[in-house]
């Protein structure tokens, strides 16, 4: 039986009352299924359920059209950004340059506006100003959601798995639960670049990630993977959203060192993933033993296809 812990409270904590109140008034069944909360300055507040975006009325009703929907002011956007950055934006220059910050509970606050480019390398974003849109991804722990995948792939011994799915398909939620289950049986190093998996606060994970798991919080993937292999001797390394050439080198190093991997990547399906150069190379080199495709909509977070890549 799956047991869901939704971290919506942490997302609502950074919203002003005029925006959080309509969400609190939503029917609990819908409220517990919110995936994203979107704020666009001088436009409408929306929530995403099962991959579909809805407007919200002041009394908490979801609507496909914005008639009498809750509006978002520029001041609302500014308030949320200040709260997300704990009223100290200069302390989070890395997060500013990347366009997101993770708040308590593991909720990720993404934002866009006007890029401030590095004065010496004018193609590198140094910061963002005049923020106009915010997307809050609601973190959740869904205990047992990876049970089928774990039992089929990891029950007998550590294996390597590539989780495939488009945005809002539940990749991070499945990955988090896999870390918990594998971390009860094997030594696991979690490379938690955005602090979404463990939701570490003051050095302590807020999420259940397993008794044998170690967290590399806010490390970039390359440094985290390389360091984990060298100093922690893991059986499995877990990492979210791979796809860069740096990821390729680090993952190949881990594989050649005998470490198994659990990684996620954005793609519609297995064939789409193979069309991406880095993923194609990893699959061709048999870095992964299995690939698992996740569904969307009503099949969000469900394994719709499992492919065996290597043979024992």
* All domains of the chain in start order, with CATH: 3-137 (3.30.450), 144-308 (3.40.50.300)
Residues with Cβ within 8 Å of residue 220, at least 6 apart in sequence = 193, 246
Q: Tell me, what DSSP letter sits at residue 122?
A: T
Task: Report whether pLDDT(121) > 80.
Answer: no
CA distance 140 to 117: 34
Beta strands per DSSP E along the chain? 3-6, 34-40, 43-44, 46-49, 52-56, 62-63, 71-72, 100-102, 108-117, 125-137, 140-143, 161-165, 188-192, 200-201, 204-205, 213-217, 236-239, 260-266, 290-294, 303-308
CA dihedral 141, 142, 144, 145 (to 10 degrees): -120
What's the predicted TM-score (pTM) here?
Answer: 0.80
Task: Report whether pLDDT(1) > 60.
Answer: no
Mean of the per-residue pLDDT values for the chain?
92
**Chain segment 10-48, per-residue pLDDT in tens:** 999 999 999 999 999 999 999 998 999 999 999 999 999
- The predicted pLDDT at position 2 comes to 61
**Chain segment 249-303, per-residue pLDDT in tens:** 999 999 999 999 999 999 999 999 999 999 999 999 999 999 999 998 778 888 9
- The predicted pLDDT at position 5 comes to 81
CA distance 96 to 113: 11
- The predicted pLDDT at position 301 comes to 82
């Amino acid at each position: 039986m799956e047991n869901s812990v939704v971290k919506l409270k942490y997302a609502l904590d950074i919203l002003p009352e005029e925006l959080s109140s309509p969400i609190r008034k939503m029917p609990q069944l819908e409220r517990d299924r919110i995936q994203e909360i979107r704020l666009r300055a001088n436009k409408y507040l929306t929530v995403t359920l099962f991959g579909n975006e809805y407007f919200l009325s002041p009394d908490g009703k979801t609507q496909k059209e914005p008639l009498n929907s809750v509006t978002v002011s520029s001041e609302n956007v500014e308030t949320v950004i200040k709260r997300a950055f704990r009223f100290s934006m200069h302390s989070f220059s890395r997060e500013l340059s990347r366009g997101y910050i993770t708040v308590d509970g593991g909720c990720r606050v993404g934002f866009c506006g006007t890029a401030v480019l590095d004065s010496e390398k004018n193609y590198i974003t140094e910061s963002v100003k005049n923020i106009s849109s915010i997307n809050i991804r609601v973190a959740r722990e869904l205990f047992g959601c990876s049970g089928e995948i774990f039992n089929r792939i990891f029950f007998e011994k550590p294996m390597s798995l590539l989780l495939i799915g488009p945005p809002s398909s539940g990749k991070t939620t499945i990955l988090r639960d896999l870390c918990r289950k594998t971390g009860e049986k094997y030594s696991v190093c979690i490379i938690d670049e955005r602090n979404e998996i463990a939701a570490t606060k003051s050095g302590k994970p807020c999420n259940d990630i397993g008794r044998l798991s170690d967290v590399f919080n806010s490390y970039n993937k390359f440094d985290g993977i390389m360091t984990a292999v060298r100093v922690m001797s893991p059986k499995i390394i877990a990492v979210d959203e791979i796809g860069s050439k740096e990821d390729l080198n680090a993952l190949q190093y881990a594989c050649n060192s005998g470490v198994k991997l659990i990684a996620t990547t954005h793609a519609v399906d297995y064939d789409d993933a193979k069309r991406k150069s880095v993923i194609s190379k990893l699959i061709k080199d048999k870095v992964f033993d299995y690939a698992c495709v996740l569904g969307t909509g009503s099949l969000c977070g469900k394994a719709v296809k499992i492919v065996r890549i290597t043979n024992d």
